[in-house]
Amino acid sequence: MEYSLKLTKPKNLPFEKVADADEENWVDSFFPKWSIPYLRLSRADRPTGTWLLLIPCWWGILLAANEKNNFGLLAYDFWLLIACCGGAFLMRGAGCTWNDILDKDFDRQVTRTKSRPIPSGQVSISKALIWMFFQTLLAFIILLTFNKFSIIVAITSLVLVSIYPLAKRFTWWPQLFLGLTFNWGVLVGYSAVMEEISLTAILLYLAGVSWTLFYDTIYALQDLNDDIAVGVKSTARLFIRNIKVWLTTFFLIFWTLAGVVLFNSTLENNLVGIGATGLGLLLLFMHLLYQVIKLDVSSQESCLATFKSNRNAGLILVTILFIICFT
pLDDT tens for 95-145 read 999 999 998 887 787 777 787 888 888 899 999 999 999 999 999 999 999
CATH number of the domain at 287, please: 1.10.357.140
Number of domains observed in the structure of the chain: 1
132 exposure class (CB count in 10 Å sphere: 0-12, 13-18, 19+): buried
Torsion angles phi and psi, residue 47, rounded to 5: -75, -5
Does any domain span residue 20?
A: no
Region 267-272: mean pLDDT is 76
273, part of any domain: yes
Judge whether 70 lies within some domain: yes
pLDDT digits (tens, 9 = 90+) for 147-200: 999 999 999 999 999 999 899 889 999 999 999 999 999 999 999 999 999 999
- Expressed as residue numbers, the domain containing 48 is 32-325
**Pick from 118, 144, 117: nearest CA to 27:** 117
Tell me whether residue 296 is in a domain: yes
pTM for the whole thing? 0.90
Q: Please name which of 193, 2, 176 lies closest in space to residue 84, comparing C-alpha atoms.
A: 193
For residue 172, tell me if it sits in a domain: yes
- The packing angle between helices 48-68 and 184-194, to 10°, is 30
Residue 118 falls inside a structural domain: yes
> Rounded to whole angstroms, how far apart are CA atoms 221 and 209?
18
Task: Express each pLDDT in 13-59 by its tens digit.
Answer: 345 566 666 767 888 888 898 998 899 899 988 899 999 999 999 99
Q: Tell me, what amino acid is at 79?
A: W
User: 18 lies in a domain?
Assistant: no
Residue 12 lies in a domain: no
